[in-house]
Structure 1
Amino acid sequence: MALTNRDAAIVLGMVARGDKRHDIAAWFGENQARIAEIEQGSHGSIAAAPAADLPPKGAPGPKGRRLRAFVRKALEALEANDVAAAKKALQEGSATYDRHEA
């Protein structure tokens, strides 16, 4: 998968924020060599994306597994016709996913 200039800006923003290189690479489904290439200027002179445009800090795998559990909980609530519980599960899952992690 080729990273776009927009992706490169996000990579640079994540690097500037202090994210681990393997977390950045995992976010894009790439290896750390692609991240190093971007840091070395493979996409030209691109400015880092602002903090508001960056994904949450932390490894995407554990975040995805936790989010999946919240989605299952929401689906179970919907099957029981409990829309309020489903909405709560999705809101909690989204907030947990968006939380920055070390």
Structure 2
Amino acid sequence: MAFSNKEASIVLGMVARGDKRHDIAAWFGENQARVAEVEQGQYGNVTAAPAAELPPKGAPGPKGRRLRSKVSKAVEALENKDAATALQLLKDGLADFSKNET
């Protein structure tokens, strides 16, 4: 799979931020060779995306597992008619997912 220009821009932004290459590749479901292609200019004159457009820093796998756990608990809370708990679990899960990690 090739990156779109927008994705290549995000890749460059993540590189500039200092993200690990394997974390960058994992965000897109790609291998590190695709990231290297972007860095080598194979996508033309693409500029790095600004920090506000970048996904949170860190490996997506652990973030996804934690988010999935919170969502599962939120669904259970909704099935038990506890909307307030469900909403808080979802907010907490999203906040945790959005944290930058080293």
TM-score interval for Structure 1 and Structure 2 normalised by the shorter chain: over 0.9
Distance in 2 separating the partners of 1:98 and 1:2: 26
2:100 equivalent in structure 1: 100
2:19 equivalent in structure 1: 19
* Structure 1 residue identity aligned to 2:23: D
How far did residue 62 of structure 1 move? 0.5
- Alignment partner of 1:48: what SS? coil
Distance in 2 separating the partners of 1:23 and 1:69: 21
- The list of structure 1 runs, each at least 4 consecutive aligned residues, that deviate by more than 6 angstroms after superposition, is none
How far did residue 2 of structure 1 move? 2.0
Name the % identity: 68
Distance in 1 separating the partners of 2:82 and 2:61: 29
Q: How does 1:1-102 map to 2 (within 5 A)?
A: 1-102=1-102
CA deviation digits over 1:32-56, x for unaligned, max 9?
A: 0110010000101111000000000
RMSD: 0.5
Q: How many pairs align?
A: 102
What 5-or-longer segments of structure 1 have no aligned partner?
Answer: none
- TM-score under structure 2 normalisation? 0.99
